[in-house]
A and B are shown apart, each in its own frame.
Chain A
Amino acid sequence: MNTRATTSDEDENESFMPVDTVVGRATRVFRAGFSGSLALLIVGMVLIVTRKQSLPSHLVPLDEIVPGLIEGSAAPFVTLGILTMILTPVISTVTICLTFLQQGDRRYARLSAVVVLILILSISLSLR
């Protein structure tokens, strides 16, 4: 069996730079995702403390989130915080797909698109 990994003191090859762009954009999406999720969870926790409520035992259904947010209930904020986190990898994968497409890397743009489609399909099936 050929061993194909190598360790060297050479600087990084220029051919890796396009991937660095993908990594940079994906990292920004991840940071935005967990910052947004954390902010929503904190708002939910603050509402729970100030209104002397307790953490809900169930998440709010999708169609009740917006009315609940308008009412200022804690549970919809907590639910949205959790859902924001769950959806972050999906948004990141879409971003990666678009970046590969922009770079003309059709093979990995197609593969990323397949992953996005599987993710969307699985989420859609599970929410029915």
Chain B
Amino acid sequence: MGIAAGFAAIFGSMLGLGGGVLLVPLLTLFFGVDPKVAVGASAVCVVTNSVVGSSVHMRSGFTNIRLAMLLQTTTALGAISGAAIAISANPNVINFVLGIVLIYSAFSMLSQRRIPVPNAPPDAPDPLALRGSYRDQASRRIVEYVPERIRLGLAISGGSGVLSGMLGIGGGVIQVPLMNLLMRIPVKAAAGTSSFMVGMTAVATAAVFYSQDKLDPRVVVPCMIGIFLGAQIGSQITRRLPTHRLIIIFVLVLAYLGISLVLKAIGIGLPGQD
């Protein structure tokens, strides 16, 4: 279970997804963990992945803290309502919704792969002082950006918060494509900022599951230990590799897990799964 969590953390931290989007299906499909317990454990693991991974992302300059604080206002409110829905929801409904989210994310990542890093003048208007910059080790250049479409970003962040609270994922599956495709933020900065945000979002979710006595240390502790290692590895990979090389593998993993969960929700189990 710890190895599975470490695997989820490597990919999660690498692409700013928190890891929950991979961990919940891994726990439910391959370890037979009850979906609600898996969602609770995942929320703690998302926080862990965020804390460990962000400490590396921040040093790399990938985390835009001002942007994170701005978007987090709507994301956190969405997470509270999502967590309340999850406590009383049918496990099959959770599996189905998560499956659809994964398939959507796969298509988003695939389309994101083909979009080049946008170029623009350095004196672009920046009324909210959200300009960010980082040194890209892969291309050995300084990348500067100013986020666009802030209002739309705030609205969609609220929606990703609802999904996060409901499913125990960090919401990064929505946030990263949102930031990159709509707000014109480079992928590494989107991943670093999302990685920071998903931890704050998952705090509220984890607290809800703690109060409901749905955090099982037999599941949480092995996963946390795996994530301590996996998140650091994933963050270091982000620094050194062009993200588009990793997206194809990630899309395949997301699509497989998404389809598996949708099939499980409608009563069709794949061979080798509980």
Contact assessment for B76 and A119 in the assembled complex, using a CB-CB cutoff below 8 Å: yes
B164 → A minimal CB distance (Å):
12
* Residue-wise interface mask of A (92-128) relative to B, using a CB-CB cutoff of 8 A (1 in contact, 0 not): 1100100000000101100110110011001101111
Cα distance, A33 to B55, chains bound together (Å): 11
Of B80, B213, B225, which one neighbours A122 at CB under 8 angstroms?
B80
B106 → A minimal CB distance (Å):
25
Query: Are A5 and B184 CB-contacts (below 8 A) given A41-B225, A122-B79?
Result: yes
Cα distance, A44 to B61, chains bound together (Å): 35
Residues of A within 8 A of B268 (CB): none
Of A12, A15, A85, which one neighbours B47 at CB under 8 angstroms?
A85
Of B145, B210, B211, which one neighbours A5 at CB under 8 angstroms?
B145
Of A10, A27, A41, which one neighbours B58 at CB under 8 angstroms?
A27
Cα distance, A7 to B50, chains bound together (Å): 27
Contact assessment for A10 and B142 in the assembled complex, using a CB-CB cutoff below 8 Å: yes
Q: Smallest CB-CB separation from A44: which chain B residue?
A: B221
| B59 within 8 A of partner (CB) | yes
Contact assessment for A108 and B55 in the assembled complex, using a CB-CB cutoff below 8 Å: no
| B224 within 8 A of partner (CB) | yes
Residues of A within 8 A of B142 (CB): 7-12
| A46 within 8 A of partner (CB) | no
User: Interface residues of B, CB < 8 Å — how many?
Assistant: 68
Contact assessment for B73 and A115 in the assembled complex, using a CB-CB cutoff below 8 Å: yes
A31 → B minimal CB distance (Å):
5
Contact assessment for A2 and B124 in the assembled complex, using a CB-CB cutoff below 8 Å: yes
Residues of A within 8 A of B63 (CB): 23
Residues of B within 8 A of A88 (CB): 47, 51, 199
* Residue-wise interface mask of A (7-33) relative to B, using a CB-CB cutoff of 8 A (1 in contact, 0 not): 111111101100100110011001101
Contact residue range for chain A?
35 or more
| B208 within 8 A of partner (CB) | yes
Query: Are A85 and B224 CB-contacts (below 8 A) given A27-B58, A122-B204?
Result: yes
Residues of B within 8 A of A52 (CB): none
| A49 within 8 A of partner (CB) | no
Of B50, B145, B207, B217, which one neighbours A126 at CB under 8 angstroms?
B207
| B69 within 8 A of partner (CB) | yes
A88 → B minimal CB distance (Å):
5
* Residue-wise interface mask of B (66-89) relative to A, using a CB-CB cutoff of 8 A (1 in contact, 0 not): 100110110011011001000000
Q: Smallest CB-CB separation from B50: which chain A residue?
A: A89
Cα distance, A68 to B94, chains bound together (Å): 35
Contact assessment for A4 and B207 in the assembled complex, using a CB-CB cutoff below 8 Å: no
Residues of A within 8 A of B118 (CB): 3-5
Contact assessment for B203 and A119 in the assembled complex, using a CB-CB cutoff below 8 Å: yes
Cα distance, A33 to B124, chains bound together (Å): 37
Contact assessment for A6 and B120 in the assembled complex, using a CB-CB cutoff below 8 Å: yes
| B65 within 8 A of partner (CB) | yes
Q: Smallest CB-CB separation from A118: which chain B residue?
A: B76
Cα distance, A90 to B72, chains bound together (Å): 12
| A47 within 8 A of partner (CB) | no
Cα distance, A57 to B9, chains bound together (Å): 23
Query: Are A59 and B52 CB-contacts (below 8 A) given A4-B146, A13-B133, A93-B200?
Result: no
Interchain Cβ contacts under 8 Å between A and B, 20 examples: A3-B118, A4-B148, A5-B143, A5-B186, A6-B143, A7-B141, A8-B141, A8-B144, A16-B131, A27-B59, A41-B221, A57-B217, A58-B216, A59-B217, A86-B206, A96-B65, A108-B66, A123-B203, A126-B204, A128-B211
Given contacts A96-B65, A111-B73, A115-B73, 9 further A-B contacts (CB under 8 A): A7-B143, A79-B217, A83-B210, A85-B51, A89-B51, A108-B129, A115-B76, A119-B204, A122-B204
What 6 A-B pairs have minimum CB-CB distances, sorted nearest first? A5-B145, A122-B204, A4-B124, A3-B120, A126-B208, A126-B207
